Copies of this chain bind each other. A is one copy, B any other.
């Protein structure tokens, strides 16, 4: 299920407001180009992500990610590419709070709520909670997912080269790069 253009525009506006509130200045062009990822699941508020890519070269990448309150970026990993290690990424929380889950010993009583309809597709539960100014680096090939806290979150992502189209999601229903449907 793809997103309609009007949903995308609404999410862009909301993400731009959260970025501005976090003190992050964008150009008009950047604001208009905020990427809204619904992952083909048809429920953006529950499972989705808003992002802006500042630079993505063959050596490094930098983005800002926006999570609405309780919004979840579904579980995935960054595979090896052409025999080289997959994407390594550092998440740095800028505002709000983010619940991050990676492979490792499951944390009892995790703080995030797994999206109900997709429960079987969430399999890693080692919890890291990031507040503003806190950061965590995810090793290549590690399954992970993350969710915005009660007020959402703005998260800077510093990483090696991004090849989002190669990401492997646990949920086979996910389409990372869906096409937006124009409103009638």
A residues near B, CB below 8 A?
Answer: 22-27, 30, 54-55, 57, 59-62, 88, 90, 92, 94-95, 132-135, 137, 156, 158-160
Contacts and interface: CB of A to CB of B under 8 A. Distances in A.
A27 B94 CA distance: 11
A55 B30 CA distance: 25
Contact of A22 (B23, B62, B134): B23
A62 B62 CA distance: 9
A78 to B, nearest CB: 12
A55 B89 CA distance: 10
Contacts of A135: 54-55
A60 B60 CA distance: 6
Given A22-B23, A23-B23, A88 B62 contact: no
Given A26-B133, A60-B88, 7 more contacts: A22-B23, A54-B92, A55-B90, A55-B137, A60-B61, A61-B158, A62-B90
Nearest to A159: B60
Nearest to A158: B62
A133 B27 contact: yes
Contact of A94 (B25, B88, B160): B25
